[in-house]
Structure 1
Amino acid sequence: MSDLPSPPAAEALLRALRRPLRPLVRLLIRAGVTFPVCAEMLRCLYVETAAKDLSPDGRPPTDSRLTLLTGVHRKEIRRLREAAEPGDDAPPAVVTLNSQLIARWLGLPETTDEGGDPLPLSRAGFDALVAGVTTDLRPRTVLDNWIAQGIATIDHDERIRLNVAAFVPREGGEARLFYLSRNLHDHVAAAAANVSAAGAPPFLERSLHYDRLSPEAAAKLEAAGRAAAQQLLVDLNRLALSLVEDEEKVPGAPTRRVNLGIYLYGEDEQA
């Protein structure tokens, strides 16, 4: 349990988790996922996590050890191990491609203006952008797909314009669920590491929160937050692209992943 040097008390942790779990439970209910189905998934996760992450000597723990750690009966552990399927955390191909293309469009000096906004591209410019990421798809195929999804439009001069809201996935349920999975995982992982840290929290996790705002004030704050967040992401994307280009010149495989996320939420207070 090296990643949890000083875990909080179980009772206090359970109380703290009730609120963040409630939106997920609501989503599960709306999706038709019943409690027995969710309980089976949690049972599998308990066994999988204990077997993979909580073995001090690196060797697979015995069934008895897993029962002690998880509270799952040994017969159930054997059943779950036999039925276990390898997880697949790889993003859908369409997510990877679109993210890379949008990142390059918003990050390269030749495709953005002085303020960091994306410049309209000619067909040749768009073709070159796609060719810089993949040769497996024809640029026309990508363009038709983007127009259908609202990611890009063609103006009266036949130039291709990027929708500035293209950070939001429009590819459908598969892409939205991928970002739900990745971003929630990373946020929870950062929060769990911070709350368990013996010293200074290792990850950035800050938020600005106000209550008792009028609808007009809340709308202004949300609009300013969206604009500032998008500009931050554009600036950091430019930095990331320049760092990647520099590291490509240095031998050795990269090993670290970084995900910087921003969220905004608002709701009416209960009377």
Structure 2
Amino acid sequence: MADSEDNGLTDAARLQQPIARLLRPLVRLLIRYGVTFPALCELLRELYVNVAVHDCALPDKEQTDSRISLLTGIHRKEVRRLREAGAPVRTVPASVSRTSQIVALWLGDRRFADRKGAPAPLRRAGSPGRGPTFESLVEEVTRDVRPRAVLDEWLDRKIVSLDADGRIVLGEAAIAPDKGDERQLYYFGRNLHDHIAAAAANIVQEPAPFMERAVHYEGLSEAGARRLEALSRELAMEGLIAANREAQTLQRSDEEGRWRWTFGVYVYREDERPSSEPASGKKGARA
């Protein structure tokens, strides 16, 4: 990015305030989980070198230690050490991938839905009744793990429960993992990465390539904020389920490719503390 003449500030200086706001909840989380400032600095040092090596290389030119040092401000000796450590590998824990694929199929395929389009309770293989079974759902995604093992794991993690007829019912934890579930930390990193990557691309590219919007209001009562939260949760789930259903259809019919796609939503509310910032009143905005 080139230097900006607005207010006499460079782009780097103008980024500091939004970056500080972006990092504040992350720093709260790091402190709560015992990640110290020196530990974070070491992680950032490794990331700076890794990003400079893999994302900032010039075409047909060697990415030298000197250039990486110039880009990152990290000494050449440290650059050499960190380069030799290799690049981080994007990995998805097997249980996370398996669970996500099975839940996505249950939510998106009409064979496993009720008349209203919601995920239907599934019977066990051999039990009375008609329609698809939990075993057929699991086996459509993987045959490496027995459906009974998946069911036992999911019951323990409250991803599913059993109704009065012994059918298997998809629970809220399938969509919003509970604390301690490894999916929660995996999607914490994945979802925030994609949101920030979309927003960053919109800043540096013209025209902005991605949809990245939010509706926000200040000056609400607690009851009003909770009412809007409930409404937005309902609308968000409708959108996610519809998009997931279309993605399931495309995945079955589309040719194999290298592209990935994310459609995400978030809802947030808080009791704002008094600050020195000018009051914005009860006005909404989209950003």
- The answer to whether TM tops 0.5 is yes
- Picking from 161, 174, 183, the partner of 1:175 is 183
Query: Aligned runs of 1:15-54 on 2, under 5 Å?
Result: 15-54=17-56
Match of 1:70 in 2: 72
What are the superposed Cα offsets for residues 219-247 of structure 1, whole Å, 9 maximum, x if unpaired?
Answer: 11111111111111111111001111111
Match of 1:103 in 2: 104
3-state SS of the aligned residue for 2:161?
strand
3-state SS of the aligned residue for 2:216?
coil
Residue 168 to residue 108, structure 1, CA distance change in 2 (3 Å): same
- Picking from 184, 200, 204, the partner of 1:196 is 204
Residue 39 of structure 1 deviates from its aligned partner by 0.9
Residue 67 of structure 1 deviates from its aligned partner by 1.2
3-state SS of the aligned residue for 2:141?
coil
Instruction: Answer whether contact 2:2 2:11 (CA < 8 A) is retained.
Output: no
Instruction: Answer whether contact 1:6 1:198 (CA < 8 A) is retained.
Output: no
Residue 127 of structure 1 deviates from its aligned partner by 0.4
What are the superposed Cα offsets for residues 12-42 of structure 1, whole Å, 9 maximum, x if unpaired?
Answer: 0122200011111111111111111111111
3-state SS of the aligned residue for 1:123?
coil
3-state SS of the aligned residue for 1:161?
strand
Query: Aligned runs of 1:1-271 on 2, under 5 Å?
Result: 9-82=11-84, 84-124=85-125, 125-170=133-178, 172-199=180-207, 201-247=208-254, 250=255, 253-271=256-274
Percent of pairs identical after alignment? 47
What are the superposed Cα offsets for residues 161-183 of structure 1, whole Å, 9 maximum, x if unpaired?
Answer: 11145211248353211111101
3-state SS of the aligned residue for 2:122?
coil
Unaligned runs of 5+ in 2: 5-9, 126-132, 275-287
Letter in 1 for 2:261: V
1:113 and 1:189 map into 2 onto residues whose CA distance is 37
Residue 126 of structure 1 deviates from its aligned partner by 0.3
Residue 152 of structure 1 deviates from its aligned partner by 0.8
Equivalenced residue count is 262
Letter in 2 for 1:255: R
Instruction: Answer whether contact 1:116 1:234 (CA < 8 A) is retained.
Output: no
1:60 and 1:145 map into 2 onto residues whose CA distance is 49
Residue 146 to residue 168, structure 1, CA distance change in 2 (3 Å): same
Letter in 2 for 1:120: P
Letter in 1 for 2:101: Q
1:150 and 1:158 map into 2 onto residues whose CA distance is 15
2:70 and 2:205 map into 1 onto residues whose CA distance is 25
What are the superposed Cα offsets for residues 28-63 of structure 1, whole Å, 9 maximum, x if unpaired?
Answer: 111111111111111111111111111112544111
3-state SS of the aligned residue for 1:153?
strand
1:184 and 1:30 map into 2 onto residues whose CA distance is 19
2:179 and 2:123 map into 1 onto residues whose CA distance is 24
1:209 and 1:267 map into 2 onto residues whose CA distance is 12
Residue 81 of structure 1 deviates from its aligned partner by 2.0
Unaligned runs of 5+ in 1: none
Name the structure, 1 or 2, with higher relative contact order (CA <8 Å, separation 6+).
1
With normalisation by structure 2, the TM-score equals 0.86
2:116 and 2:239 map into 1 onto residues whose CA distance is 12
2:57 and 2:107 map into 1 onto residues whose CA distance is 43
